[in-house]
Chain A
Amino acid sequence: MEQRILKVTDNTRIADRVYRMVLENPALEEMKPGQFVNIRIDGQYLRRPISVCDSDPGSLTIVYKVVGRGTEALSRVKKRETLDVLTGLGNGYDLSKAGDHPLLLGGGVGVPPLVLLARKLREAGRAVTAVLGFNTAAEAFGQTDFREMGCRVTVTTADGSLGVRGFVTDALPEDYSYFYTCGPEPMLKAVYRKTKTSGQFSFEERMGCGFGACMGCSCKTVTGYKRICREGPVLEKEEILWED
Chain B
Amino acid sequence: MGRLTTTLCGIELDNPVIPASGTFGFGYEFAQWYDINKLGTFSFKGTTREPRFGNPTPRIAECPAGMINAVGLQNPGVEKVIAEELPKLRQVFHKKVMANVSGFSVADYAWTCEKLDKEEQVGWLEVNISCPNVHGGGMSFGTDPRAAAEVTAAVKKVTEKPVIMKLSPNVMDITAIAKACEDAGADGISLINTLQGMRISLRTRKPVLRNIMGGVSGPAVFPVALRMVWQVCRAVKIPVIGMGGVTTAEDVLEMMMAGATAVEVGAANLTDPCACERIIEELPAAMDKYGIKNLTELKGAE
In the assembled complex, B58 has its CB within 8 A of some CB on chain A: yes
State whether the Cβ of A40 lies closer than 8 Å to any Cβ in chain B: yes
Contact A46/B62 with A3-B273, A209-B273, A214-B270 known, Cβ cut-off 8 Å? yes
Interface residues on A, range: 20 to 34
B residues near A214, Cβ cutoff 8 Å: 22-23, 60, 69, 71, 270
**B61 and A206: CB pair below 8 A?**
yes
Closest to B53 in A: A225
In the complex, whether A213 has a CB less than 8 A from a CB of chain B is: yes
Residue of A with least CB distance to B28 = A212
B218 on the A face (CB < 8 A): yes
- B269 in complex: contacting residue of A44, A45, A46, A213, CB < 8 Å: A213
- The reply to whether A215 and B57 contact each other, CB–CB distance below 8 Å, is no
Determine if B24 is an interface residue (Cβ-Cβ < 8 Å).
Answer: yes
For the A-B complex, the count of residue pairs with Cβ-Cβ distances under 8 Å equals: 87
Partner of A3 from the list B53, B56, B274 (CB cut-off 8 Å) is B274
Shortest distance from the beta carbon of A1 to any chain B beta carbon, whole Å: 6
Known: A206-B58, A217-B57, A217-B60. A45 touches B24 (CB 8 A): no
Interface string of A206-229 (1 = CB under 8 A from B): 111101111111111000010000
Taking a contact as CB atoms closer than 8 A, the residue among B30, B53, B54 that contacts A213 in the complex is B30
Q: Are A216 and B59 in contact (CB under 8 A)?
A: yes
Closest CB in chain A relative to B9 CB, distance in Å = 26
Report Cα–Cα, A230/B25, bound state, in Å.
Answer: 13
C-alpha spacing A215/B269, complex, angstroms: 13
Q: Tell me if A70 is interfacial: C-beta within 8 Å of chain B.
A: yes
| Chain A residue contacts of B270, Cβ below 8 A | 46, 208-209, 213-214
Instruction: With A213-B30, A213-B269 as known contacts, state yes or no: A219 contacts B274, CB within 8 Å.
Output: no
Query: Given that A3-B273, A86-B273 are contacting pairs, would A207 and B53 also be in contact in the complex, using a CB cutoff of 8 Å?
Result: no
Q: How far is the CB of A44 from chain B (nearest CB, A)?
A: 6
Kindly state the separation between the CA atoms of A1 and B33 in the bound complex, as whole angstroms. 8
* Residue of A whose beta carbon sits closest to that of B24: A213
- Most chain B CB within a 10 A radius of its CB, from A3, A205, A208: A208
A148 at interface, CB cutoff 8 A:
no
- Tell whether B66 is near chain A: CB-to-CB under 8 Å: yes
Question: Which residues of A188-216 have CB atoms within 8 Å of chain B's CB atoms?
Answer: 205-209, 211-216
- Report chain A residues within 8 Å CB of B25: 212-213, 215
Question: Do the beta carbons of B32 and A45 come within 8 Å of each other?
Answer: no
Nearest to B25 among chain A residues (CB) is A213
Q: Which chain A positions have C-beta within 8 A of B65? A: 45
Query: Are the C-beta atoms of B53 and A1 separated by less than 8 Å?
Result: no
Would you call A218 and B63 a contact (CB within 8 A)? no
The A-contacting residues of B in range 31-69, CB under 8 angstroms, are 32-33, 45, 53-54, 56-67, 69
Do the beta carbons of A219 and B271 come within 8 Å of each other?
no
Which residues of the partner chain A approach B60 to less than 8 Å between Cβ atoms? 46, 206-208, 214, 216-217
Report if B74 contacts A (CB, 8 A). yes
CB-CB under 8 A from A220, the residues of chain B are 53
What CA separation (Å) do A138 and B49 show in the bound complex? Answer: 54
Chain A CB count within 10 A is highest, among B61, B269, B271, for B271
- A215 near B58: Cβ-Cβ < 8 Å: no
Q: Does A243 contact B (CB under 8 A)?
A: yes
Which residues of chain A have C-beta atoms less than 8 A from B45's C-beta?
215
> Which residues of chain B come closer than 8 Å to A212, judged between CB atoms?
25, 29
* In the bound complex, CA of A225 to CA of B218 (Å): 27
Is A65 an interface residue when CB atoms closer than 8 A count as contact? no
Closest to A206 in B: B58
Is A32 close to B, CB under 8 A? no
Considering the complex, give the chain B residue whose CB is closest to the CB of A210.
B270
A119, CB-defined interface residue at 8 Å: no
Closest to A212 in B: B29
* Identity of the chain B residue whose Cβ is nearest the Cβ of A1 in the assembled complex: B32
User: Which A residues are in CB contact (< 8 Å) with B74?
Assistant: 215, 218, 225
In angstroms, Cα B272 to Cα A70, docked, is: 17
- A45 surroundings in chain B (CB, below 8 A): 62-67, 218-219, 267, 271
22 interchain pairs (CB within 8 A)? A44-B62, A45-B63, A46-B60, A46-B67, A46-B271, A47-B271, A205-B57, A206-B59, A208-B270, A209-B269, A211-B29, A211-B33, A213-B24, A213-B270, A214-B22, A214-B23, A215-B54, A216-B60, A218-B53, A218-B71, A225-B74, A243-B56
A3-B273, A209-B270 known, 10 other contacts, Cβ within 8 Å:
A45-B63, A46-B60, A205-B58, A206-B59, A206-B61, A208-B270, A211-B273, A215-B74, A216-B60, A225-B74
Task: List the 8 closest pairs (A to B, CB-CB), nearest first.
Answer: A216-B60, A209-B270, A206-B58, A215-B74, A208-B60, A212-B29, A208-B270, A213-B25
Interfacial residues, chain B to chain A (CB-CB below 8 A): 22-25, 29-30, 32-33, 45, 53-54, 56-67, 69, 71, 74, 218-219, 267, 269-274
